[in-house]
Amino acid sequence: MVLCHHSWEDSGDVKSEEPNISTSAEQHCPSFQYILCAVTSPAVKQHEETLTYLNQGQSYEIRMLCNPKIGEFAEGRKLLKSVIRVVFHDRRLQYTEHQQLEGWRWNRPGDRILDIDIPMSVGILEPHMPSTLLNTVEFLWDPTKRTSVFVQVHCISTEFTLRKNGGEKGVPFRIQVDTFKPNEKGEHMEHLHSASCLIKVFKPKGADRKQKTDREKIEKQSLQEREKYQPSYDSTVLTECAPWPEVSSNINSPPPTPGLVSPHPFKLQTPERVCSSPSYALDSSPESMAETLSPSASILETQQWLLKNRFSNYSRVFASYTGADLLKLSRNDLVQICGMADGIRLSNALKARTVRPRLILYVSKELEASGNNAPPNPASVIYQELYLEELTATELTNKLAELLSVPANQVQQVSKQGPTGIHILVNDQEMNLCLMLQDSGCKDHFKGPKALIHVC
């Protein structure tokens, strides 16, 4: 493939036209181009994105092409950094990527989704395959030299279908390449170019069979119908797209889910794909977050609430949700988005369900008798509730100490008034007896006009 090749039949005024033409060429030639050396499918209609079939585990070449006359690359050699990812294309799988990845990791322990075939690659330096990002590889390369990286995709498209009864269609993936140049500190942080293409991955030799089936299917159609489809190309040119959201923004965001992490849904436009992933700087201090999510919560406050309640894996899914948006989702909606376990937990957290106490005591401070020994006026006695969940003597002691505004270590013992006015020490056995009497329908063990609790 030749990049921006120009020729002139008339050579009479080449010298005067050459500078202008070169300038025009530089303006229209892409500075980067990535070519996946794999045949495109013939069963793709005109004006649609190309689709490429790959075999599982087979090494495929991606040629890294750069126009050396553009920008600062003509001035001196600088190593660039490229990051290659395999990500989900379907919106449904983007929402449930965490569960999909965990299932794949469980079934394929120790395997990676994307690998570099280092012996076959040419011109790459310092190849790196992060152990926590199963779908990501990265390397350095010199744009003035020939560079080809051979990659292997080990997950197949049918591993992520809803039903696996045989014969189902596999889900599409995307291969995306992001390229960066070094900044003044030598860190490859400045984004230069991004491009991606649509792929489907089959079991070994399955891509060849699918390619043959598509070709035979198109050949059987009439000439008029065949004109509706694109021709099959020997290689796949990656289409320019927006940069990967996590590497294009330097913010204090939660760490990505290892493996198949995905941005927000892809929106295909002609000729490039646009994907957006708004992110927010999060303050995780307890003072800035409430226990329950308010319908009036802003997007930032909703993100803070998700982080505090251990839903950071879904902060990107709900990146544009306000409190009202999140509270409108039903339990079934949350289960579909987050999976069964996290969906139920998120539903309960949104409804702020509290744990029902095992025992409620109504207590008041004992009033001092007046001079004429008259009983206190019941209307003047104010009771407070004590909620007991563990039903232990220690819990009761701590709650009573808090009620009396005294340190718990200063409470020596807690007793209740029994028959004939004797004091009975309250211990764990006594608390358990109280629970048994309550469960059997008997009168509360600590209630009644003579059920007095003494704290000393």
The string of pLDDT tens digits covering residues 315-370 is 778 877 888 888 888 888 888 888 888 888 888 888 865 556 777 777 777 655 55
pLDDT at 175: 94
CATH number of the domain located at residue range(s) 359-367+381-439+449-455 in this protein? 3.10.20
How far is it, in rounded angstroms, from Cα 29 to Cα 37?
21
Strands 32-36 and 236-237: antiparallel
Q: Is the pLDDT of residue 185 over 70?
A: yes
Average pLDDT across the chain, whole number: 73
Rounded CA separation 186/10 (Å): 47
Tokens of 267: 């929106």
More confident residue, 405 or 38: 38
Domains 32-240 and 359-367+381-439+449-455 share a fold: no
The CATH architecture assigned to 32-240 reads: Sandwich (2.60)
Which residues are CB-neighbours of 90 under 8 A, at least 6 positions away? 171, 172
pLDDT per residue over 236-269, tens digit each?
A: 999 988 887 764 333 334 334 344 444 433 333 3
Q: How confident is the model at residue 402 (pLDDT cuts 50, 70, 90)?
A: confident
How far, CA to CA in Å, does 238 sit from each of 35, 37, 59, 141, 307? 6, 11, 17, 18, 36
Domain positions in the chain are: 32-240, 299-350, 359-367+381-439+449-455
Q: Rounded distance, CA 266 to CA 213, Å?
A: 28
pTM here is: 0.51
Alpha carbon distance 368, 361 (integer Å)? 22
Q: What are the beta bridge partners of residue 33? A: 65
